[in-house]
A and B are shown apart, each in its own frame.
Chain A
Amino acid sequence: MAKPAKMLGELLGGLFTKPATVLYPFERLEVPPRFRGRIAYEAASCIGCKLCMRDCPSDAIRISKYEGGSFLFAFVSARTGERKLVEIPNNAKKRHRARFRLSRCIYCAQCVESCPKKCLRSTDQYELAVLGSNIKPPKR
C-alpha cells in the first residue's frame, strides 16, 4: 500500500468506457481464429492409422473398424419395450469410425496435428456441457 490511489485514473476511466465483458448467454464474443474446440471427424478420408490414438495425451479418442457390408443397430420400441435389430447398409467409403470421450479430451488438438489425412479438425464449438445424458436406458 505504498501508493493506495495509484489506480484512481484507471478506475474513473472505467466508468466512461465500454465494458470489456459481455452478458454471456445473450451476447457472445467471437471465437478467435484457429480456436481449438470440439474435434470434428471425417470418416471418408480416414485410413485407420490410429496415429491420433497413439498421440492423444488423455486417451480420449478411439478409432475402430467397421467390418464391411452392413452393420446392425439395436432399437428398443418405446411402446412395447421390445428389442429390434435393424440392418443398416454401410456407406461404401466409410470404413472407420471415431469415438470421442469429451469428458477426457483436453482440446490440445494434437490429434489434428498428427492426422496424416487431415480427417480431424478443430471446430469453434465450445459449449459442450449438457444438462443430462442424451442416452436413455431402455424402458422395461
Chain B
Amino acid sequence: MESLAPSAFSLLVFPGFLFLGAYGTLAQWVDRKLYARMQRRVGPPWYQPVADLVKLLAKETIVPQAADMAVFQLLPAVAVAAACTAMLMVPVWGPGAVVSFQGDLIAVLYLLTIPTATFFLAGWSSTSPYAAVGSVRALTQLFSYEVPLFLSVIGAAILAGSLSVQEIAAFFAARPALLAVNLPGLCVALLALQGKLERVPFDIPHAETEVVGGPFTEYSGGLLALFLAATDMEMVVGAALISAVFLGGSLGLTGAAGFALFVAKTLGVVFILALMRALMARIRLEQMLGFCWKILAPVALAQILADILIKRVI
C-alpha cells in the first residue's frame, strides 16, 4: 500500500510539478521548432518558452469585475495540479510508476479530462461572450474526442488484461510483436490527443480568428501562464500515456536508458502532433463531431473487437 502514498517530492519535484513543468517547456519548444522548420521558418531559440513565461509572469493579472474572483484565480492551479497528479501514475523511467493500482488507467484518463473542464469553467466564469462561446465549444469538443480516446486505450488494456498503466506497459514490453495489433488504436489516440490539447485542426475552442482566445480571452499575466503551462504538461502526460500504453513504455529498460527511451518516445509523439498541426487547417465543430463519432469511434470499437479475439487466441 505504500506505493499509494506519493511523497511531496514526487508530487512537487519528480516526476511532478518541477520536472513536468521543465519537460513541458522543452516539449513546447520542440513542438514550435518542428512546426517552424516544417514551414521553412527558422523557429524560436530554445529559451523562447521560458522567455514567454517570464514575460507573462511580469505582466499585470487582470480579473474581470463581473467574474467570480476565487473561481477565476483557482482554476489554472487546478488544471496544473490535475496534470501533475496524472503524471504520478505514468511510468517515466523504468517500468514502474510512482503510484500504481488496478484501474489507474481510468484515473489518468479522468485526471486528463479535468484541465478541459477547468477551461470550460474558466471561460464560463469570465463573463465574456468570446470566452462563453469558446468554453461551450471546448465542452462540445470534449464529448467528441473523449469517447474514441477511452475506447482506444481500453482496447490495449483488454489485450494486456490489466487496467494499470504500468502493467500494460510491462505486458507489451514482454511481447513487442503485439504492439502492431494496436496500431489503429494508436492512430485514434494520437488524433484524440490532438483534440484534447485543442491544437490545429481541432483548435475550435480558442480559434483566434473567430472567438479571440476562447476560454482564455479574459486571462492575463500569471494566471494565463499557469493555464499555458498546464496545456504543456497535459501534452507531456498524454505523450507519456500513449508511449506507455501503445509503445511498450520503457521496454523493460531502467535508469538512464529507460529515461532516454521515455524522452525519445514522448518527443516522437510530440513530433507527430506537430506534424498534424502543420498538415491541416482548422475544421468546424460539427465536422469534428462527425469525424470523431463516425470515423474514430468505429475504428476504436473495431480495435476492441480485434483485441478481444486476439486475447482468445493467445
Binding site for B on A (CB under 8 A): 1, 4-5, 7-8, 11-12, 14-15, 17, 19-23
Contact = CB atoms under 8 A, between A and B. Distances in A.
A4 B38 contact: no
A14 B40 contact: yes
B52 to A, nearest CB: 18
A14 to B, nearest CB: 5
Contacts of A11: 38-39, 275, 278-279
A12 B39 CA distance: 9
Nearest to B287: A1
B41 A19 contact: yes
A1 B279 CA distance: 11
Contact of A19 (B34, B40, B201, B279): B40
Nearest to A22: B42
A19 B280 contact: no
B37 A4 contact: no
B38 A12 contact: yes
Contacts of A17: 40
B35 to A, nearest CB: 9
A4 B277 CA distance: 11
Interface residues of B, number: 17
A16 to B, nearest CB: 9
B279 A20 contact: no
Contacts of B42: 19, 21-23
A34 B65 CA distance: 56
The prevalent SS among residues of A at the interface is loop
Interface string B266-283: 000000000100111101
A19 B283 contact: no
22 contacts: A1-B201, A1-B281, A1-B287, A4-B279, A4-B280, A5-B279, A11-B39, A11-B275, A11-B279, A12-B38, A12-B275, A14-B38, A14-B40, A15-B37, A17-B40, A19-B36, A19-B37, A19-B43, A20-B40, A21-B41, A21-B42, A22-B42
Interface in B281-300: 281, 283, 287
A1 B41 CA distance: 24
Contacts of B287: 1
B279 A14 contact: no
Contacts of A20: 40-41
Contacts of B34: 15
Given A5-B279, A19-B42, 11 more contacts: A1-B287, A8-B275, A11-B38, A11-B275, A12-B275, A14-B37, A15-B37, A15-B38, A19-B41, A19-B43, A21-B41
A7 B279 CA distance: 6
Contacts of A5: 279
Nearest to A23: B42
Nearest to B281: A1
B283 to A, nearest CB: 6
A8 B279 contact: yes
A4 B43 CA distance: 24
Contacts of B275: 8, 11-12
A111 to B, nearest CB: 37
